[in-house]
Amino acid sequence: MKSSITHGVKILSTGSAVPHFSLNNQTISEIVQTSDEWISTRTGIKERRLLTGSHQSVIDLAILASRKALDKISMDPSQIDLIILATSSPNDLFGSASQIQFKIGAVNAVAFDLTAACSGFVLGIVTASQFIRSGTYCNILVIGADVLSKWVDWSDRSTCILFGDAAGAAILQSCSDIENSILNFQLNTDGYYSSHLSIPYQDNDKPHAFLNLHQGSFKYLYMNGREVYKFAVSQVPLSILKCLNSLNMSVNDINWLLLHQANERILNAVAEKLSISRDKIIANLSKYGNTSAASIPLALDEALQESKIVDNDIVVIAGFGAGLTWGTIIVRWKEFTLG
Ligand code: UT7
C-alpha cells in the first residue's frame, strides 16, 4: 500500500534477550592473561553473557527479543510488514532474517539481513524509517543481534574480554507526521579504515587443482583497539552535533545519550566532548560487554523498563564500529499504544 503523504515513525515497543551463561572478569582471567582490575578500569566491563551449548544461534536470541517486543503490545506477528535483522554473526551467510520471519509467524513480512556491525541497529532503524515515511510499510520489526563469542579468538586477550552475546528488538509503526518520533539521522562510512576492525575471509593456500579456484573460510575477529577508540571519540561527537544542528537543537536539549556500548571510557569521553553531564549517559556494558548490533536496543529496552526514559525525552542514539561506519539518530520518545 503506497501513498504520497509523508508519514511519521513511532517506536511502539522494544524487547531484548541475553543468554543465561555469564562469564565474569575473574573467570576470564583463568582463560587468558588478564585481570578484573585491567578489564574494569580499561573498559568498564564486569561480565558478559555467552551463548553456550550446541544448536544455539543468533536466531534464538533474536526470536526471544522479538517475541517480547510483540507480547508487550499484544501485536499479532501477521501484522508485521518487514523484518530487518542487523547482525554480523548470522548462522547462514545467505541471511538469517527469513528463519526469524518463519519461526515467529510473521507470515506477511518481507525479511532481510543488514550487515553494519555495531552500527547495524542504527542503520536498521534508519532503513525502516524510510520504508515507513514513504508509505510503503506500516509495521516494521528491527532487530539488532550478535553472537560474536562464536567469532572471537578465545586466546586473544585484547578482544575476547570485550564481547558478549545478545539481541534487542524494536517495533516501528507509521503514524501522522506530527507524532513523528525519529526527528533526524546522520550516517557515515569510511572504508579506508576497514582493516582496523574485521572478521576477514581468507583463501586457503591451495587452489582447486583443475579450476585454479581458491576457497577459504572466515578468520577470527581482529581489532586495532587504539585506532578504533580514537576514531569513536573523535567522530561520534561530530555526528551528534551535525544531527542536532540541522534540527536547530543544542546539546542542552538532550535528556539521554545512548551510545553503542563498546567501552565506558568512550561513553564518558564523548559526553565530555559534548559537555553532557555523565548522569545523562545510558550504560549497561558492565553487565553485558560489547554486544555489537544488540547493544543499543538492549540498553534502550532496559532504560525503558527502569522508567528512565519518559514521554517527550530527547534521546540521542549513536552507533559506531566496523566499516568503519558510524551514525546518529535523534528520537523524541513517545509512549504509544497499538494503533
Ligand atoms: O564495537 C566496535 C567498536 N569497538 C570499540 O570501540 C573498541 C575501542 N577500543 C577500546 O575500547 C580499547 O582500545 C581497548 C579496551 C580494546 C583496549 O584498551 P587500551 O587502553 O586501548 O589498551 P591497548 O590496546 O593500548 O593496550 C595497552 C596494554 C598493552 O600492553 P603494552 O603493549 O602496553 O605492554 C596490551 O598488551 O594492555 C595490554 N592488554 C591487556 N592487558 C591485560 C591488552 N589487552 C589486555 C587484557 N588484559 N585483556
Distance between Cα 225 and ligand 1 center (Å): 6
Q: Are strands 82-86 and 110-114 parallel, antiparallel or unpaired?
A: parallel
Query: Catalytic one among 7, 139, 243, 260?
Result: 260
- CA 166 to CA 184: how far, in whole Å? 27
Could you tell me if 142 and 229 lie in one domain? no
In this structure, the answer to whether residues 144 and 186 fall within a common structural domain is no
Ligand 1 closest atom vs CA 295? 1
CATH number at residue 154: 3.40.47.10
Is the beta carbon of 222 within 6 A of some atom in ligand 1?
A: no
- Same domain? 186 vs 149: no
> Is 225 found in the same domain as 170?
no
Does residue 147 sit in the same domain as residue 240?
no
CB neighbours (10 Å) of residue 217? Answer: 8
Cα gap 251→245, rounded to integer Å: 9
Asked if 82 contacts 137 with a C-beta cutoff of 8 angstroms, the reply is: yes
Write out the chain's pLDDT in tens, 339 residues: 555 567 999 999 999 999 999 999 999 999 999 999 999 999 999 999 999 998 999 999 999 999 999 999 999 999 999 999 999 999 999 999 999 999 999 999 999 999 999 999 999 999 999 999 999 999 999 999 999 999 999 999 999 999 999 999 999 999 999 899 999 999 999 999 999 999 999 998 888 888 989 999 999 999 999 999 999 999 999 999 999 999 999 999 999 999 999 999 999 999 999 999 999 999 999 999 999 999 999 999 999 999 999 999 999 999 999 999 999 999 999 986 544
Q: Which domain holds residue 89?
A: 8-178
Number of structural domains (the chain) is 2
Identify which of 35, 38, 158 to mutate to test ligand 1's pocket (most ligand atoms within 8 A of the CB). 158
Assess whether the C-beta atom of 208 lies below 6 angstroms from ligand 1: no
The answer to whether the predicted template modeling score (pTM) of the entire model surpasses 0.85 is yes
**Residue 290 falls in the annotated catalytic set:** yes
- The phi, psi pair for 216, rounded to 5°, reads -155, -155
Tell me whether residue 199 is in a domain.
no
How many A from CA of 49 to the centre of ligand 1? 20
Residue 216 lies in a domain: no
User: Does 105 sit in the ligand 1 pocket, CB within 6 Å?
Assistant: no
Domain annotation covers residue 273: yes
Whether residue 150 is found in the same domain as residue 242: no
